[in-house]
Structure 1
């Protein structure tokens, strides 16, 4: 899986769904969500209730939607992988399945004696006003710093690492038509670093779970109506001399008959339910537009 924009470009999937239909004819049907905007808003309020009880500080809630399709999904998946701002853009495919990612977020990278994670939290439209609003938002900054602290703690528990430090805090990066806040957390490798220990420490990513992580996962299990599938996991490269894993946000999966997509956001005490529903829709919109392409479909049901 290509990662960090430094490896080979994504290739059209071979042997994936509808691989025999090379004549095109791609058409995307109407999207059907696993929960309505009202149900999503109710989940936001349920998280705020849990925060009020002292059970959690932040929970990332994620919704799922799927749409039927006909024809060859390969070109549509390549459009997703090619979205601007994707640090991990690519396509994977097998017998009867395929997925595409346009993830901007580094879950963990190990290279040149250094471990790095780049959590992303905080979203606004990619306008100058949106950039100023994101930088000035106390709510977004508090949500972001909470996850940075969680990631620092995850790395600090690993043997074989030196002091963990925040190299960059709340830097604004662009993904398609959205500004997002990103930090860089790193530690030097000072001893033996076991891959299994590393993955146990960082998975699942703090930015797609919440804090405390185990309590947040418990809330997620109760609130989300369907599983997260390939989303919110890890995708990238593991080699003898480096590791580069992206968090599989902005990721879609295709089976023999449907396209699946996920989007969500972090909920804190200061969250507004309607704003959180709108933010999830804004994150999903570029993915849906890329998938629709020339299909003429993609309406929401």
Structure 2
């Protein structure tokens, strides 16, 4: 579906909230020109439909990594780039994998792209402060005991040789009152949010905010790279030492690095894949996380559809082997992943930068939704995995409730 917003067709959120990964020079100058949306159950290949839409709107998605004119006139202004969101379910469709349970936010498309133009017109007035903002009680998709049983079922599957690792994710939802704009801004500005930003429907019917620290895929200056994150500890000196010393966390991490190396190696036009950095410790809010950098040169043409099929859904939130892990996920998780565990970012004239939509929340007009989970290996302790998922969700829920986290 393609939609052309009218001149007065703006979301309810303040324009000061930039889309995830939007170039700094473009902020506060965005004007939505055209919108593409695709939902699970729609006909056609979402990867091809999306690529055709962006190509028709002047973005070089048939030949990523090769710079086009920086700004191209389109009859309305100067074409800036496009915001892009791809759900984990859409990624499953792209690679013909088993989809998960239905999304708890069905009003949000599974693929959503907004082509932006630059404009010097004044942005619409920011909405009033969110007076009366209030969150109701959280309702979880599973109890701690049910979550622990899912972890054990993964361990059993690993013992049978069905999989090596599976990422399991839980969902929580809470009712809210008043305008969510300020709450979403708090999420988007959490410390360590490399992809912090907000993406919203033009009519204000839904919005998502991300504080994701993880790069799913970036194409820039003739290289393609990914930065998988795996391994979490509290952001204390003892937590850092424990993460660096953990054989279990390192083995889990290296397994996903190998999966991501394989994903990039399958890309048409990509050269030899290398690991530029392995198991570096970074901070997100009050957690340490282990991150690696995997990259390859682009020696030939790379099409956006081929890129999405290679990297979606992201290996660090599926497991290995990817298709077998997705079959386990579809069986284990009672609620769909919705806007989480997908891709979210920016496509410009000279680069692409998509974050993995972990640490991401959604609002649908009546409820706010969060997701959190972790990778399960043979050595995983069910109680520890339940606690880790809660630790990942806690900063998001605190930000939504109005708490402010000090910068890292």
1:76–1:290 contact (8 Å) kept in structure 2? yes
Please name the residue that 1:264 is paired with. 373
The 5 A counterparts of 1:78-227 are: 78-94=185-201, 95=203, 96-227=205-336
Encode CA deviations 1:182-236: one digit per residue, 9 max, x unaligned. Answer: 0000000101111100110000000000000000000000000010000000000
Partner of 1:299: none
Q: Output the aligned Cα RMSD.
A: 1.9
Q: Among residues 363, 372, 383, which one is paired with 1:254 in the alignment? A: 363
1:2·1:8 contact (CA, 8 Å) conserved in 2?
A: no
Distance 1:139 1:5, change over 3 A: farther
Contact 2:193–2:212 (8 Å) recurs in 1: yes
SS in 2 for 1:103: coil
Provide structure 1 residue ranges, at least 5 long, that are not aligned to the other structure. 295-301
Measure how far apart 1:278 and its partner are: 0.1
Preserved contact between residue 9 and residue 90 of structure 1 (Cα < 8 Å):
no
Question: Highest relative contact order (Cα 8 Å, sep 6+), 1 or 2?
Answer: 1
d(CA) in 2 for partners of 1:50, 1:6: 46
Cα deviation for residue 240 of structure 1 reads: 2.5
Following TM superposition, the consecutive aligned residue runs of length 4 or more in structure 1 with deviations greater than 6 angstroms are none
Contact conserved, 1:88 with 1:102, CA < 8 A, in 2? yes
3-state SS, counterpart of residue 181 of structure 1? strand
1:278: which partner in 2? 387
Contact residue 80 and residue 287 of structure 1 kept, 8 A: yes
Q: Which runs of 5+ in 2 are unaligned?
A: 1-18, 33-125, 404-408
Equivalence map 1:38-77=2 (5 Å)? 38-77=145-184
What CA deviation, in whole Å up to 9, does each residue of 1:27-65 have, x standing for no partner? 000000000000000000000000000000000000000
Q: 1:151·1:206 contact (CA, 8 Å) conserved in 2?
A: yes
Contact 1:170–1:183 (Cα < 8 Å) also in 2: yes
Partners of 1:62 and 1:93 in 2: CA distance: 24
- Residue 3 of structure 1 deviates from its aligned partner by 1.4
What is the TM-score normalised by the length of structure 2?
Answer: 0.68
Whole-Å separation in 1 of the counterparts to 2:186 and 2:396:
9
Q: TM-score, normalised by structure 1?
A: 0.92
* Alpha-carbon distance in 1 for matches of 2:276, 2:358: 23
SS in 2 for 1:216: helix
Structure having the higher Rg: 2
Structure 1 pair 125–6 and aligned structure 2 pair: CA distance change class (3 A): farther
Change (3 A) 1:175 1:143: same
CA 1:137–1:8 in structure 2 vs 1: closer, same or farther (change >3 Å)? farther
Query: 2: distance between equivalents of 1:63 and 1:159?
Result: 35
CA deviation after TM superposition for structure 1 residue 159, in Å: 1.6
